[in-house]
Amino acid sequence: MSIAPASVLKCLADDTRLRTLLLIQTEGELCVCEIAAALDLSQPKISRHLGQLSNCGMLKDTRKGQWVYYQLHQRLSGWVSEVLAATASANPEPLQADRQRLARMGERPERQAACC
């Protein structure tokens, strides 16, 4: 999937969207409540940013029961994944803190009990 570089960079220019993408890339897939807990932000704010990332073609969502899980779009251009990987590698501290907050939720299905 080809997304215009300017659209990708606009999505990455926001700290919340960037942290969300890095976390999803690391974890594979996450639901809104997991992202909200990891980033320590409100669910409506996370939902708004997820909508923007989905609209620009960077995320794909999948409904599983009452939860919607987000993952990087499988047809995302390779250069976008490389940019995300390089960003995570060069800036591990923010991602590490987000992953620690996510880990405090436990594993699924325990995490799902804490959600919504």
pLDDT in tens, 39-54: 999 999 999 999 999 9
Sheet strands side by side (includes 67-72): 30-31, 67-72, 59-64
Using the predicted structure, report yes or no on whether residue 26 has a pLDDT greater than 70: yes
Beta strands in the chain (DSSP E): 30-31, 59-64, 67-72
Looking at per-residue pLDDT, the higher value among 115 and 26 belongs to: 26
Distance between CA atoms of 103 and 84, rounded to whole angstroms?
Answer: 21
Mean pLDDT computed over 25-48: 95
Which residue shows structure tokens 């974890």?
27
For 16, 17, 81, the CA distances from 75, given in Å and listed in that order, are 23, 19, 10
What is the model's pLDDT at position 86? 95
Average pLDDT, the chain: 90
Q: What single-letter amino acid sits at 97?
A: A
Q: Which fold has domain 5-105?
A: Arc Repressor Mutant, subunit A (1.10.10)
Domain edges within the chain: 5-105
Q: Are 52 and 102 in contact (CB under 8 A)?
A: no
116 pLDDT higher than 60: no
Q: Give the predicted TM-score (pTM) of the model.
A: 0.89
